[in-house]
Each structure stands twice: as structure tokens, then as C-alpha cells.
Amino acid sequence: MRGWGCALVLALALTGCGPRGAQPISAFEGRLNDWAREILTDSPELATQAGVSEDAAGGVYADRLDDRSPLAVEARRTAAVRRLTELRTLGLRSGDDEEARAYAVLESQFAAAAAGASFDYGAFSPMRGARPYVLNQLDSAFLTLPVFFEERHAIASTADVETYLARLALVPAALDGETARARADAERGVRPPIFIIDQTLALLDRIAAVRPTEQIYFASLQRKLDALVEAAGDDARPALEQRRMRYLGRAEQIVREHIIPAHQRAAAQLRAIRAEASDNAGVGELPRGAEFYAAALRFETTTDLTPLQIHRIGLSRVRDLQGELDIALRRIGLTEGPVGARLAQLTADPRYRYEDSDEGRAQLLADVRERIARVTERAPQWFGHLPSAALEVRRAPRFAEATLPGAFYTPPTLDERIPGVYFINMRDLSEITRIDLPTQDYHEAAPGHHFQIALAQEQTDLPLLRRLMSFSAYSEGWALYAEQLADEQSFYENDPVGRIGYLRWQLWRAARLVADTGLHAMNWSRQRAVDYLLETTGDAPGIIASEVDRYVVWPGQACAYEIGRREIAAMRERARNQLGPDFDLRGFHDALLMNGEAPLDILSDVIDDWIPEQRRLAERERRRP
């Protein structure tokens, strides 16, 4: 639901070194390029999502999918450990500040990835770390691949159609690879909780029951082919229309004979293990469960905070925000009962809902676009640099509405042929109110994810692998800080209910710290987490249940938001205190955003380096005649 961010697509930019490309590269930078190519060669889907060159990706990739077989994932784990060893063996022999920072960033990310790679179950990616359950309701291949084909495999020629069909023929192997890994995990005693199995089964069964010609793989190709035929010249159109029918026939056969049966095999595997599964929501009962959660927290927060420390930070922040909300709710006449109950009362008020119709959806999108335009117009007051990539607002793919979060952002490709996109899930307009929507816009689009991710991709002077890395605590922490910035810049000045929504979003991220650590380190049941969030946030029960289930299958990820925000806010406060009247908000934001993604401790070093630079700049300005 809240701020899924760029979970679907990593912020990646790898097509060369920009201005540095004409200069000799050091042995260190050359090794970074080798690792970048290795990672991209292993993940053609990642290369497609980013729109990198074939050279950067180690060759042709448009006709391939990621290998999800047990052997491939084991090789991925081994490679992650090897890269950390190679990095530390290489060391940093240069005194170059950029190389020193690149080394520190890589060592942090490689070490966190290697820790996740030490577990022989679940899902693993060097960019996303370890997650406990291969088959789940959020990010298994049967859910992510249709979105990938729809959103990222462009068709501008018949050659693109052939690569689409080549990839389509690989989908069954991808699904079966995950099924095989889920089977092996079950033999090790690793099974998702029953409620996760049931949700995943329902999705698999629902997709398998859809007719082949209505499956997104087929429908997406059909739409793209129709556009290709429409764009063709009069002379070429008749032949292309004939080829269109053959292409669609091949796609329909692949879906009917191979892809749908692969869904059925995955469902059969889940049914086979359901009787031996439990209702335990946390990873504590899994092999090395406490270590798994510690590794997940380290990867997601880029800190060494313990579950207990994070739990206490969450409780303290919840108390503070409830105090603010109490005052804000009283100002609009809601004075009776706990804060959570009053928030629930506000959420249920029909005045703040959009009409559940095509007209209501159109109005919602118009409101969002207008709000983003206002932010973009004023943004030069707070930012020295703005992204050049375009931003679009779209409805989330309808075929995946049941499983997708309430909103998410996907970054532009490097060549900007595909813009940054802010997707809004409109499956149920009762879940999207005028109370919460403005803050969601600031988080997912501007000045949140789009500003940060698109700017990161545009830093062509950074080494290749620096631009490959993505850190949840940085990206989600920035997006949560962006919500705070919008409040500080008076975007809720004439919208007291919208400001309550902002405070509730802040409350949600604090409560996540409590619920996530409760589930995975304190033996909380799913129901206890649901009850806590319902009482605390007053949000809709369906939203809360899906949130908890997200924490169950993505341990630690929900902690990245508030941990990142509080650290960024602390950096700003430190800079403001040290610089006094010389503090420049535009310069501070540029320092945060124009140096690439980084773990929080290294980001803090960036700001510590910026403070004396800003002081010297201000002094020169004062001396200027």
C-alpha cells in the first residue's frame, strides 16, 4: 500500500562514464565496470528496466529473462559472496575522494548482500537482498513478469515482436524455477504461513482460469501490435496485418499450452505443502530465523540498529505523532475518543471519497496531476537541480490491481524513452481518500521518488556501479522526508484534513517499525499486528491486513522509511545548527541528491563534507564587491 516506491524497478543507470569516459580509468574503476556488467548479464530484466546498452549488459538481452532455477540462484548467492571478497582484496589504493566514497558504498552494499546470500532458502538478489518465501502474494514471477512485459518490453518493430515471443517462451521455465525452489525450501522446513499460502493460491488459481487471449501476456502483445500496424505506412500495413495474426497465434499457443500449466504446477506445489504449514507470521521459526531478520534489517536500513532499538524508536515516534494528531483532529471538531478511533471516523466520512466510477477516477487523476504541477512550479525554491526526465501519472495495470500496492513509482529508462511513472491503484476508490492522497503524491512523485531517482540516474560522472546501487533507507527515507518538506513549505496551509492525512502517513511509518519488529523478533501473531495498526492508524481494515501481509513476506523493508527519514532530518538539523544563517536548503538538497544513492552513514559523511564547503561559499559571497 504505502509507498512501495521503486520495488518493481530499480533506479539504475549504467551506459558509460559520461565526461569521464574519455579519460583513462583506474584499475579500481575498471573492476567496478566488470562487476556492473556481471550483474546485468545475470539479470536481463534489470537491463531492460533500465534501458542500458548491450555493451553495458554484456551482450544482447532483449530476448532473455532472468534464470530463476535453483542452480542459478545458488550461483547468484556464490557470486555475491565472491564480489565482497574481491572488493576487500582489491582494497582502495588511490587517495581519490570519489574512489574512496565508491569503495565505501560498495563495501556496505556487498557486505549486506553477502550476509543475505548466506541463507540457502527463499528469494535472493544482489540488489534486493534475501526474502524468505519464493512463492508469495507480492513479488513472485507469476506477478512481476506480466507487469514487466506490459510496462517494459516496448515493441517498435517486428524484431521487437520476435524478442517478445522469445521471452514469452521462457516464462514457463521462470515460473517452474520458482516452484522448484519452493519445493526444495519446503523440504528444509521453510513454508510460508497458511494465510500467505491461501492468498497466493487464490491469485494463481484466478490467473490460471483466465482465457489465454485475455491473459496480460497476450493482451499486451495484441495492443502493441495494433499500434505497430496503425503506425505502418499504407504499403506495409497489409503484410504486417497478416504477420500480426501469426504472431498472436504463436503467443496464444505459448500461453495456453505452457504458461497456464506452469501456474497450475505452482498452485499444486502450494497445496501440497499447506497441510504442514503453520500460522506463524514471523521468520523467527525459520532456520537461523533471528539471523535472517538481522541481515534483512541491515540490508534495508543500512544501520546496525537492533530489532529492540527499532521497536522503541517506533513507539516513541508514534506517541509524538499521536499528540500532534490529537491537536489537528480537535481543530476540525473530532474531539472524542482515541486518536485511532477518530482517524477511522474521518476515513469513513463520504465527503472525502471519490465517486467509484470512471468519472471519479478521472477526477482523481486530474487532481493528482494538478498537485504535482504546483510542486514542480515551486520546486526551484528548494532545489538547485531538477530532473530532466518526464513524469507521468497513470492508473496501475488493471490485471494486477488485486496484488499491487496502493501506489508505486517506476523510474525512467536512461534514454528517457520511457518516462518516470507514478502508478495509482484504483481497484477500490474507498481505499483512496482526499485525506491521504496529497501526501501519497508527494512521496511517490514530486518531490519524492521521481526527483531523487531520476536525478540519481542523471549523474553520469559517477562510476557505473555506484549508479547501479539502490538503498531502501536512502530512497524511501528521502520520499518520507519529501512528505515532511511539503508540509514545511505550506502545501497544507488551506487543507487541514490533508495535513491530518500527512500526519497519519508519518504515523503509519512509525507504526511499521513497531509491527515489523513485533512480527519478526517478538513473536507477534498476524492478528496482533493487525489489531495494533487498526488501533493506531484508524485506517481501513483491508488496507491494514494487506500491509501486515507485506511485512510478513518482506521482513525489514517497512523499517527503511522512518529510519531513513529521521537520519536525513537529523543531517539537516546538524547542518542548519552549524551553518546558522549560511545554511542553504537548495544546497543541502543538492548535496543529498547529486551524489548518488548511499547508505545512511556515508550519506552523513557527504553532508559533513558539504557543511564547510557551504561555509566557504557563503564567505566568498560576503566578500564579493
User: Tell me: the pLDDT tens digits for 359-374?
Assistant: 999 999 999 999 999 9
CA–CA dist 198, 545 (Å, integer)? 14
Looking at residue 25, its pLDDT comes to 62
In angstroms, the Cα distances linking 402 to 199, 314, 380, 439 are: 10, 29, 38, 22
* pTM of this structure: 0.93
Looking at residue 449, its pLDDT comes to 97
CA–CA dist 579, 130 (Å, integer)? 41
Residue 15 above 90 pLDDT? no
How many C-beta neighbours within 10 Å does residue 28 have?
20
Cell of 389: 526526465
Looking at residue 458, its pLDDT comes to 87
Whether residue 447 has a cis bond before it, omega within 30° of 0: yes
Residue 180 above 80 pLDDT? yes
According to DSSP, residue 433 is labeled B
Q: Are 289 and 190 in contact (CB under 8 A)?
A: no
Where is pLDDT greater, at 460 or 554? 554
Cell of 466: 555506484
3-state secondary structure at position 412: coil
Q: Are 314 and 562 in contact (CB under 8 A)?
A: yes
Q: Where residue 22 falls among pLDDT bands split at 50, 70, 90?
A: very low
Cell of 120: 540457502
Residue 617 above 80 pLDDT? yes
Cell of 305: 540498529
How many C-beta neighbours within 10 Å does residue 30 have?
11
- Out of 65-79, 129-143, 212-226, 402-416, least confident range: 402-416
Beta strands (DSSP E) in 30-126 are 123-125
In the chain, the percentage of residues whose pLDDT exceeds 70 is: 94
- For residue 240, what are the contacts with CB-CB under 8 A and spacing of at least 6? 158, 228, 229, 232
Please give the angle made by the CA atoms of 344, 479 and 462, to the nearest 5 degrees.
165
Please give the angle made by the CA atoms of 543, 130 and 396, to the nearest 5 degrees.
40
Q: What are the pLDDT digits (tens) for 507-524?
A: 999 999 999 999 999 999
Residue 414 above 90 pLDDT? no
Supply the mean pLDDT for the chain.
Answer: 92
Looking at residue 113, its pLDDT comes to 96
Q: What are the pLDDT digits (tens) for 219-253?
A: 999 999 999 999 998 888 999 999 999 999 999 99
CA–CA dist 568, 582 (Å, integer)? 19
Looking at residue 93, its pLDDT comes to 57
3-state secondary structure at position 406: coil
Q: Where residue 459 falls among pLDDT bands split at 50, 70, 90?
A: confident
Where is pLDDT greater, at 16 or 127? 127
Which residues are paired to 392 by β-bridges? 421
Mean pLDDT across 170-195: 98
Mean pLDDT across 170-198: 98
DSSP 113-160: HHHHHT-SSSEEETTTEEES-SS-SSSSHHHHHHHHHHHH---SSHHH
Residue with the three cell numbers 490460471: 208
Q: Are 210 and 400 in contact (CB under 8 A)?
A: no
CA–CA dist 425, 436 (Å, integer)? 14
Residue 119 above 90 pLDDT? yes
Question: Where in the chain are the domains?
Answer: 134-281, 305-565
Residue 11 above 60 pLDDT? no
Mean pLDDT across 443-469: 88
Looking at residue 484, its pLDDT comes to 97
According to DSSP, residue 255 is labeled I
Beta strands (DSSP E) in 20-107 are none
Q: Are 457 and 12 in contact (CB under 8 A)?
A: yes
**Residue in 505, 460, 500 with CA at minimum distance from that of residue 479:** 505
CA–CA dist 516, 285 (Å, integer)? 15
Mean pLDDT across 424-452: 94
Residue with the three cell numbers 515489523: 516
Please give the angle made by the CA atoms of 91, 94 and 95, to the nearest 5 degrees.
120
Residue 287 above 90 pLDDT? yes
Mean pLDDT across 314-323: 98
Residue 388 above 90 pLDDT? yes
Q: Are 328 and 500 in contact (CB under 8 A)?
A: yes
Cell of 228: 505497430
Looking at residue 124, its pLDDT comes to 97
Q: Are 511 and 533 in contact (CB under 8 A)?
A: yes
Q: What are the pLDDT digits (tens) for 542-574?
A: 889 999 999 999 999 999 999 999 999 999 999
CA–CA dist 322, 82 (Å, integer)? 47
How big is the chain, counted in residues?
625
Residue 467 above 90 pLDDT? no
Where is pLDDT greater, at 26 or 177? 177
Mean pLDDT across 294-315: 98
Residue 146 above 80 pLDDT? yes
Residue with the three cell numbers 518493481: 8
Q: What are the pLDDT digits (tens) for 574-591?
A: 999 999 999 999 999 999
Residue type present at position 582 = D
**Residue in 122, 258, 131 with CA at minimum distance from that of residue 178:** 122
Q: Strands 407-410, 420-424: parallel, antiparallel or unpaired by DSSP? A: antiparallel
Q: What are the pLDDT digits (tens) for 249-271?
A: 999 999 999 999 999 999 999 99
Q: Where residue 430 falls among pLDDT bands split at 50, 70, 90?
A: confident
CA–CA dist 510, 559 (Å, integer)? 8
- Out of 240-249, 401-410, 603-612, least confident range: 401-410
Looking at residue 169, its pLDDT comes to 98
Q: Are 599 and 568 in contact (CB under 8 A)?
A: no
Residue 94 above 80 pLDDT? no
How many C-beta neighbours within 10 Å does residue 34 have?
15
Nearest-10 crossing angle of helices 472-488, 449-457: 130
CA–CA dist 495, 501 (Å, integer)? 10
- For residue 9, what are the contacts with CB-CB under 8 A and spacing of at least 6? 49, 152, 410, 411
